Structure 1
């Protein structure tokens, strides 16, 4: 037993790296608990600079799926299923394409592309683009495909769907519930794609076990903050999260993070 534990401990990152990852996942949990999205946008840019990006994406996927289950139970009752389902099914279909790209493409190039996409999403939001009524099916499918591609590449699927739903008429409670259910559904396809591409190993399991308590604490605190915040606060916070993700994703910040 002791030898088994020693073997697991050997797969942990060095202490400075582990502390940095714990700090990132705590902040990510606060954001996820409050807004229903954004954890990967906070955690992945930091994690990808200090550990293998494939391990970071695979570990975060399992971590997020397990720790956010309590949020999912409430969101299932509050989400707009007619809006969530077409976006989610389209995303699930495209996730394997993104995972295949992650398995073979240059990660620095991917991060520059991701930053550009997120900045474009921020620009659309700040320009005040809005729509009323239920979105068209074609638009939902297109947004889902974009989110699925980003999910497979980096686990950062939020920008397309946040822009799409935040620009619509739904209240913050529904938008947050939509996002929580969307990520739960899409994670099934992402997990299968990552598994088939060989992303899971002992190091990923150890990483998940080490960070899960910290992430859970952050999510609990964030959910309580959402319960006490005024509805008008939600959209500005969501926009700020996306902008922060765009800046933190820039490969030019790697030297500072290291």
Structure 2
């Protein structure tokens, strides 16, 4: 066994990682939302969340200067609040029964599918301070609990009439910060073990490949097709995880 995984479990992890990284490269988000529910079927939920955070941190450092330079100012405010709120999410994960955690994580992924497909805001809509703050705090809690900072962040940017390049870079900046906070909080609270960075190192080449393929596809499809494709992928992943949970 490699990193404590059977060949079947490793195959599931590699397939989920490739698909999730492709979506991340294409859309700028979605890796954790896709990866955690499926990876959580092969390893305990706590490990799946920490592995996702390790992978998010590692891939986020690739092209760091570029994404930070292209980000909206709001991304840095949301990042700071999310980092502060992440330990609360890690604590909630630590005291939650694994079976319940799997179900909640799958439901969070399913909820993100609905949020992505909501209608866009008016062209000149500017998020309020309260909306920006709430987005940051919720993103942090979900980072710690589910390894999924995306559900509040994705609609914050994608429902606005801003350039896809700006939305994508801003989300990537936030997800790098939340991955760092997720790994740090897990280590500080004793949730992390030696297995997660080992498994992340094994999966990282697959992340690089998937992210590169997704980046090639970015910009070659229009905005509407981009949103529909990503939403459907998130929905299929969440529904598959829910079906498996309800039939085991």
Q: CA RMSD in A?
A: 2.2
Structure 2 residue ranges without an equivalent (≥5): none
Q: Give CA deviations for 1:45-102 in whole Å, capped at 9, x if unaligned.
A: 1111121221221122112211232243321121112x21222222112111000011
Per the alignment, in what secondary structure is the counterpart of residue 198 of structure 1?
coil
Native 8 Å contact 2:120 2:160 kept in 1: no
Residues 2-151 of structure 1 aligned to structure 2 (within 5 Å): 11-81=3-73, 83-128=74-119, 130-131=121-122, 132-151=124-143
Aligned equivalents of 1:237 and 1:146: distance in 2?
25
State the match for 1:162 in structure 2.
154
Per the alignment, in what secondary structure is the counterpart of residue 5 of structure 2?
coil
Native 8 Å contact 2:45 2:102 kept in 1: no
Q: Give the TM-score taking structure 2 as reference length.
A: 0.89
Which is worse superposed, 57-66 or 113-122? 113-122
Question: Highest CA radius of gyration, 1 or 2?
Answer: 1
Q: Give the TM-score taking structure 1 as reference length.
A: 0.86
Native 8 Å contact 1:172 1:235 kept in 2: no
State the match for 1:207 in structure 2.
199
Tell me how far 1:28 sits from its aligned partner: 0.8
Aligned equivalents of 1:124 and 1:26: distance in 2?
24
Larger helix share, 1 or 2: 1
